[in-house]
Structure 1
Amino acid sequence: MQQWFPELFYITNTLKRNNPRFLIADALLFDISLKCRPYIQGGITMYLSKMVKVNKFSFMSWETAIQRFIVWRKAEGISKRTLNGYESNLKTFFKRYPLAWPDKCREFVLQHLSQEEISPSTYNNRLKTFRPFFNFTITEGILTTSPIANIKYRRGEAPRIVDHTMEDVLKLFKVIGSETFAQLRDSTLFLFSFDTGIRPSEALELLPNDLDVELLKATIPPMYAKTRIGRRIFYSDKTALLINKLLSVRPLEWKNSTQLFCNSYGNKMNTHTWGVQLRRYTKKAGLNRFSPYDLRHQFAIEYLRNGGDVFTLQKLLGHSTLSMTERYLALSNDDIQRVHAKVSPVSALFPPIRKGIGKI
């Protein structure tokens, strides 16, 4: 009988192996083989689907589901960094809770989200990974209900205020130096990031051809941008001097196919390497903390302090909505207090009394 219906044997064996409820599949197989042979087309029968009532993807492993999800998101143009985050977080979850897939996902998702002492940002990041994945499994017919249905995001914490003094920024810049190629590259990357507010991941993807050295502007292609929307950024004369110097010391064989901010061997740098370098310089400068993303924060804050408006800032930062720019910026308490003192209606009711100059 197996030689007549090899695909049918495969289906029943798969059902038995993945779900004890389908041990009855042997009896069904014999019954189907005798009564319903005419319905069998390619090893899949209408009779079988009616009798067993199993989803066509019920035997799919979580590894395969994740793989299909990553391919789908990649086709949508999601950045490589985001895809790696999806894959890492999902694999970590299912390895930690091997009994979750497929029937107990909600139980273990709730357990994963209710761990003690996790911050709202960690909670929300986990949920941001689960939501598109489980929506995908429903769309593809892998699962029938979402394990995260009616689970909402938590209200986030106040953003960490990144407000370094200009003295600290200058001190850190001077510590880097420019005696070696690596130091020149780091000095240029530091100043370019502080001058433009570019994301670290975007800066490390730039090629020399993406810069217009005469008009002092750079184009971030859509493939590099986090939002997949290209934009133009601008830099100052001082930054241009360092960029031109960096371009002049590059070997000719690197040409335009090598990233502008590459390592000493012409290989691409990543954000982790840049972060490690910056932490080393920070320690040398005697400062507590300074990350590559702090340069982006500091650019935004100084842009507003110096008279820039939030609408052009949104374009420069590459935010898709204005609300993102407003959440992104966290002005220091001194700024808030200074603005409040200036515009307070109570201050208008009781203006300060100006005294004339008397005897001297």
Structure 2
Amino acid sequence: MTLAGERDAYLAHVTVERGLSANTVAAYRRDLERYLRFLASRGIDSLGDVGREDVGAFAEAIGTGEDGGRALAPASASRVVVSIRGWHRFAVLEGWTAQDPAAQVKPRAIPKRLPKAIGTDAVAAVLEQAGMGDGPGPLRDRALLELVYASGARISEAVGLDVDDLTLEKGHEAVLLRGKGRKERIVPLGSYAARALDAYVVRARGPLAEHGRGTSALFLNARGGRLSRQSAWTILRAAAERAGVPDVSPHTLRHSFATHLLSGGADVRVVQELLGHASVATTQIYTLVTRDTLREVYAAAHPRAR
């Protein structure tokens, strides 16, 4: 089998067996195509001929652009190395090669960046502004952002919801979210989100649906179709601008959800489950955010802190 054929077999595997999203598979394809070009420049046309030094040289080259491609930042370079390691590991499992030359090649270290979160007052202001105005649009916008903040959902998860994924039965309010790899998790909803969602479903979704051809999507656009991720981002940013809250990104409400839960004493493993993180290590970065608050409280309250 040619290198291109082995690449395609691996991409089929991550698509079907691992259930990766189309965007993730497309990123894998770009990474592997760059790797193939690098191997070709070294006269290598078989995975069995790849050595550890080849993989290591590629990992260095993508960070500097010496392979002829764009120089990648540490996070992007690390993702490429992970793609390459996955392909070589798959090749060993399939029996194409006897050795894995990428096993000991580590991704570049990524500087830790703290997630950006906003305070509870700022969140309340953004949510309030999202619901300002008449017609079904503001009811939808408020419900959407209330759900994202109440559940920690990614915006892509929120716009991917169907009506049947939402439960508003009193005392059992919850939403079924589908995260990366289509992994499902059920997240409870608080009273504010439940009221906003009920108002939207009862009073606004029907009028929006009249303009479409019928869809099971929970959040609809003005044409009656499923609300897009880009439109949801626009809704959030517009509400933040009206509220006077700067530097709001699509992930701001999700980060704020996690930070506020941990600040309130929630166990990090519970927050991990709510966020849908595969590893608690991913969630623990939020504990760095809350340590600043702990230090401030300690400094202000302890008699011998100063």
TM-score where L is the length of structure 2: 0.77
Q: CA deviation at 1:149?
A: 4.2
Q: Does 1:183 align with 2:138?
A: yes
Secondary structure of residue in 2 paired with 1:164: coil
**Cα distance in 2, alignment partners of residues 92 and 261 from structure 1:** 38
Which blocks of at least 5 consecutive residues in structure 2 are unaligned? none
Distance 1:108 1:334, change over 3 A: closer
Q: CA deviation at 1:61?
A: 4.9
**Cα distance in 2, alignment partners of residues 182 and 287 from structure 1:** 21
| Equivalent residues of 1:211, 1:218 under 8 A apart | yes
- The 5 Å alignment of 1:188-203 reads 188-203=143-158
Provide the identity percentage.
Answer: 22
- The 5 Å alignment of 1:1-360 reads 57=1, 60-62=2-4, 64-80=5-21, 81-91=23-33, 94=36, 99=41, 102=45, 106=55, 107-115=57-65, 118-140=72-94, 146=100, 148-176=102-130, 177-214=132-169, 215-220=172-177, 224-226=178-180, 228-248=182-202, 249-251=204-206, 257-331=215-289, 334-338=292-296, 341=299, 350=304
Q: CA deviation at 1:187?
A: 1.9
Amino acid at match of 2:6: A
Distance 1:332 1:321, change over 3 A: closer
**Cα distance in 1, alignment partners of residues 97 and 60 from structure 2:** 17
**Cα distance in 1, alignment partners of residues 137 and 38 from structure 2:** 41
**Cα distance in 1, alignment partners of residues 95 and 284 from structure 2:** 39
**Cα distance in 1, alignment partners of residues 25 and 214 from structure 2:** 27
Distance 1:321 1:227, change over 3 A: farther
Which blocks of at least 5 consecutive residues in structure 1 are unaligned? 1-56, 353-360
**Cα distance in 2, alignment partners of residues 88 and 288 from structure 1:** 34
Amino acid at match of 2:258: A
**Structure with more contact order per residue of length (Cα contacts < 8 Å, sep ≥ 6):** 2
**Cα distance in 2, alignment partners of residues 310 and 89 from structure 1:** 33
| Equivalent residues of 1:162, 1:330 under 8 A apart | no
| Equivalent residues of 2:3, 2:36 under 8 A apart | no
**Cα distance in 1, alignment partners of residues 117 and 92 from structure 2:** 44
| Equivalent residues of 2:63, 2:73 under 8 A apart | no
Distance 1:237 1:93, change over 3 A: same
| Equivalent residues of 1:209, 1:256 under 8 A apart | no
Secondary structure of residue in 2 paired with 1:219: strand
Secondary structure of residue in 2 paired with 1:218: strand
Instruction: Report the equivalent of 1:36.
Output: none
**Cα distance in 2, alignment partners of residues 285 and 65 from structure 1:** 52
Secondary structure of residue in 2 paired with 1:173: helix
**Cα distance in 1, alignment partners of residues 58 and 194 from structure 2:** 53
Q: CA deviation at 1:292?
A: 2.3
Q: Deviations over 1:157-205 (max 9, x none)?
A: 1223423123322332233335344433222111111111122222222
**Cα distance in 1, alignment partners of residues 295 and 229 from structure 2:** 35
Bigger Cα displacement from structure 2, 247-256 vs 224-233:
247-256
**Cα distance in 2, alignment partners of residues 265 and 66 from structure 1:** 40
TM-score where L is the length of structure 1: 0.67
Q: CA deviation at 1:270?
A: 4.0
**Cα distance in 2, alignment partners of residues 229 and 205 from structure 1:** 13
**Cα distance in 1, alignment partners of residues 288 and 163 from structure 2:** 33
Secondary structure of residue in 2 paired with 1:287: coil
**Cα distance in 1, alignment partners of residues 293 and 167 from structure 2:** 36
